[in-house]
Amino acid sequence: MKKITTILSFLSLLLIFQSESQGQTILTLEKAMEIAVTNSPSIQSTILNLERTTESLNAQRAALKSKFALNVAPIDYSNSRKFDSRTSQWFTNEIINSSGTFRVDQPFLPTDGKISLINTFGWQSNTSDALGTSNTNEAFYNNLYLALTQPLFTYNRTKWTLKTLELDNENAMLGYAIQRLALEKTVTQYFYNVYMAQMSLTIKEEENLNTQKSFEIIKNKVDAGLAAKEQLFQAEVNLETSKSSKASARVQLENIKDQFKQYIGMDIFEEIAVMTDVAVTPIVVDGKKAIEHGLASRMELRQREISIENSQFDLIQVKSMNEFRGDMALSIGLSGDDPTLSQIYDKPTKSPKISLSFNIPIFDWGQRAAQIRAQQAVINTQKLNYSNQNKQITVDIRQVIRNLSNLQDQISIAIKNQTNSQLTYDINLERFKNGDLTSMDLNLFQVQLSSNKMAYAQALINYKLELLNLKIQSLFDFTTNQPVIPEQYIKAIQKK
């Protein structure tokens, strides 16, 4: 097995060296992943969603801190004709006002209330003219008061909003980690598709070289009169077929390269070749450990839990429809005014205020109850999805473990087939040289050898892909015996 793998690696390196001489970029799987993480549209979209949820959460947390505001009105002038209903007289009123208001608002998260400290300072000139009598008042004034607004008998909307945004942000982080693992799987598949296409071209070139040699052998025999001329015709057909197969393999390789470059975000016109070691060491997988780790770590399950929590929050909001609710507003302050600035508070006026109101629903024709039942059905659906996801993870991991066992058998069979087909080809090549075999028969053995080489390489790649699938399904890398920690991807994106 090691000898055959070494031969495959040598053929791959031979193609790589040829690629380097032609100015191509050599890609390893790790380098391809780096390019894909940077340029992949799906990853970029997930990153933007993560940025959106993070900044929304930051904004909501900032909203819980004290807000300072200053409103300044440098000049406010009006001159109007008014009617005084107390004296049944018309009068002219001229007002000049200049003021500013400074306020501090502090949300109170535990009760969803708000405490405000407000101070309004200004100067006012008021002139009234009625029946030829003019009255003028000029004074500084200041109003300082502390206010509290508090909803009663309802849910805490501020806490609800904050928790919803936290879950949304966590879901976005999980989505990025899941997308990152999915990207790794897809890039690996594309990468090995290119590798197999390269391998196919290398084998077709080797096949064409062998066919060329057999054509020259039969041509020499026909020229010497040692073989029938129809064998030369068949050899020519085999040679042209081999050339056509090589050309087709080259076209297929270029097409697969373009698909690969498009997916990882490379320049389509950049020439590339891939390099990797496809040798595998079969490992023993602890099925129980894989399932337990998958169920404990899979991010999809946490996303299902988040969906259930969000649905329960939605149920709280639905229950608030036509709810019995109260609103309380309290304020206490001091007001003062005087023509002299320093004497504003010589005779202050206390200004307490209290307001209490209730919203009392009477009858809504069953609307609220129906909405609650509908939302409860949504919650039950989310719980069912969680249960099904749990079962699906178990099924998927069990299936992957079975596939790995089967693929080990396939590798053993592929090794035996390639070894036997190589020996068979070598034996029949000698028979062909001795004139005991036609070129058509030799070509059949050549095609069989090429097919078994490709089958062996594909078996190795299939095993590596299934190992990667097990890593994604269980979030545990059994090749290194280490858990896959999604936080490493989240931290990497947060550094950006």
Angstrom distances, CA of residue 251 to CA of 16, 196, 209: 18, 13, 19
Residue 425: pLDDT above 80? Answer: yes
Number of Cβ within 10 Å of residue 34's Cβ equals: 13
Predicted local distance difference test score (pLDDT) of residue 486: 59
Q: With bands split at pLDDT 50, 70 and 90, how would you rate the model's confidence at 91?
A: confident
For 169-178, the pLDDT digits (tens) are 999 998 888 8
Q: With bands split at pLDDT 50, 70 and 90, how would you rate the model's confidence at 100?
A: very high
Predicted local distance difference test score (pLDDT) of residue 22: 54
Q: With bands split at pLDDT 50, 70 and 90, how would you rate the model's confidence at 128?
A: confident
Q: How far apart are CA 271 and CA 277, in angstroms?
A: 21
Predicted local distance difference test score (pLDDT) of residue 87: 78
- Cα torsion 103, 107, 111, 116 to 10°: value is 0
For 202-212, the pLDDT digits (tens) are 999 998 998 89
Q: Rounded to the nearest 10 degrees, what angle do helices 229-264 and 439-474 cross at?
A: 20
Domain ranges of the chain: 2-56+162-308+380-495, 67-108+113-154+324-360
Residue 410: pLDDT above 80? Answer: yes
Residue 78: pLDDT above 70? Answer: yes
Q: With bands split at pLDDT 50, 70 and 90, how would you rate the model's confidence at 10?
A: very low
What is the pLDDT averaged over residues 126-145?
86
What is the pLDDT averaged over residues 423-435?
87
Q: With bands split at pLDDT 50, 70 and 90, how would you rate the model's confidence at 30?
A: very high
- Select from 283, 286, 256 the least CA-distant residue to 272: 256
What is the pLDDT averaged over residues 232-255?
91
What is the pLDDT averaged over residues 362-381?
91
Q: With bands split at pLDDT 50, 70 and 90, how would you rate the model's confidence at 347?
A: confident
For 263-322, the pLDDT digits (tens) are 998 889 999 999 988 888 888 889 999 999 999 888 899 999 999 999 999 999 898 888
Q: How far apart are the first and last CA of the chain?
A: 44
Residue 154: pLDDT above 50? Answer: yes
Superfamily (CATH H level) for 2-56+162-308+380-495: Outer membrane efflux proteins (OEP) (1.20.1600.10)
Predicted local distance difference test score (pLDDT) of residue 2: 45
Q: How far apart are CA 185 and CA 163, in angstroms?
A: 33
DSSP 24: P
For 440-488, the pLDDT digits (tens) are 888 888 889 989 999 999 999 999 999 999 999 999 989 888 888 755 5
- Residue 151 phi/psi, 5-degree rounding, is -75, 150
Predicted local distance difference test score (pLDDT) of residue 488: 52
Residue 15: pLDDT above 70? Answer: no
**b/e map of 318-350 (b: 16 or more CB within 10 Å)?**
bbeebeebeeeebbebebbbeeeeeebeeeeee
Predicted local distance difference test score (pLDDT) of residue 188: 94
Q: What is the pTM of this model?
A: 0.77
Residue 1: pLDDT above 60? Answer: no
Please give the angle made by the CA atoms of 431, 233 and 219, to the nearest 5 degrees.
55
How confident is the prediction for the chain on average, in pLDDT? 87
Better-predicted residue by pLDDT, 403 or 219: 403
